Amino acid sequence: MDLSALLINDPAAWSAMARTLLRIGVILFIAWIMLALSRNLIPMLRRQLQKQTDDPEQHKRLETLGRVFRYAVAVIITLITGMLVLSEIGISIAPILASAGVIGIAVGFGAQSLIKDYFNGFFLLMENQIHQGDVVEVADLGGLVEEVTLRYIRLRDYEGTVHFIPNGAVTTVSNRSRGFAYALVDIGIAYREDVEQVFQVIRDVAAEMRADATLGPLIIEDLDLAGVDAWADSAVMIRFRIKVHPLQQWTVKRAFLLRLKQEFDRLGIEIPFPHLTLYAGQNKDGGAPPLHLLNQVGE
């Protein structure tokens, strides 16, 4: 039967179609309003929560969670809208849901890694292990976190290369951005140098840095001098660390090494380089054969 002829001859059909289109329009309009509200209310709620705390770590976490929630709400609203529209045009969603369940099981077996990505991403966010703006090491890669989603982490390394790491591949997160950090420094001095004098030089340089208008605010506590850490082949190794604000450990370490080098040069303290002592051997009676050194190459 010709649908257009039926509609012309049956005003009731026109009326029913008009009501259906009106209901679909109302559903779409409500969905549009809800999407617009979610795009505005969630950021508004995030900003209100951020005003209640001065912790920058909490600010970054709320930023990441807000973005994920906006995405999740948009997906849910879209799915519900689609099902309501299908129901209005007379397509039963029950068989679709049943088929989707069967298909979902089949797809689930083939997309286990994808499901793992989403589960891992959910717990990474809920447990506050990582969020946007952190400097981390994950999956043997390190860099600045530019984006965290339920499926992947976008990481930019020091060279500017962007890495997309599936959340399912994340087993350990080493976060360098939480609370505080340490600028850990190992230096070597010659065996002939006075260790106590070197200790005092290190303390003096640390005190100068704390008094510096630029570097001082980056440092949280005074120098923690561990002392002599090892006897290396050519040097006495000294270890110390400085507690600093997150992500400032590299800035403080570079500045400290520069100032310490300048002070060592001024005082004539030797920074050793690898060298070798030749031993010609010795007889059992204590006498040693003479060591003949070559005066010219090729002799």
- Asked whether the domain spanning 181-267 has the same topology as the one spanning 130-175, the reply is no
pLDDT in tens, 203-221: 999 999 999 999 999 999 9
If we measure between CA atoms, which residue out of 124, 113, 119, 146 comes closest to residue 65? 124
| Alpha-carbon distances of 64 from 81, 153, 199, 229, 245, rounded to whole Å | 26, 11, 45, 41, 22
| Topology of the domain covering 130-175 | SH3 type barrels. (2.30.30)
Question: 243 pLDDT band (50/70/90 cuts)?
Answer: very high
pLDDT in tens, 134-172: 899 998 899 999 888 888 899 999 899 999 999 888 888
pLDDT in tens, 19-36: 778 888 888 888 888 888
Spatial separation of the C-alpha atoms in residues 163 and 241, rounded to whole Å: 31
Domain ranges of the chain: 3-110, 130-175, 181-267
Quote the pLDDT of residue 1: 46
Q: Where are the beta strands (DSSP E) in the chain?
A: 135-138, 141-148, 152-156, 162-166, 173-175, 181-189, 224-231, 236-244
Quote the pLDDT of residue 100: 59
Quote the pLDDT of residue 211: 93
Prediction pTM value = 0.60
Best CATH choice for the domain 181-267 from the list 3.30.450.40, 3.40.47.40, 3.30.70.100, 3.30.43.10: 3.30.70.100
Mean pLDDT of the region 256-262? 96
Name the CATH architecture for the domain at 3-110: Orthogonal Bundle (1.10)
Spatial separation of the C-alpha atoms in residues 190 and 96, rounded to whole Å: 78
- Position 17 pLDDT exceeds 70: yes
- 8 Å CB contact between 267 and 199: no
Spatial separation of the C-alpha atoms in residues 77 and 55, rounded to whole Å: 33
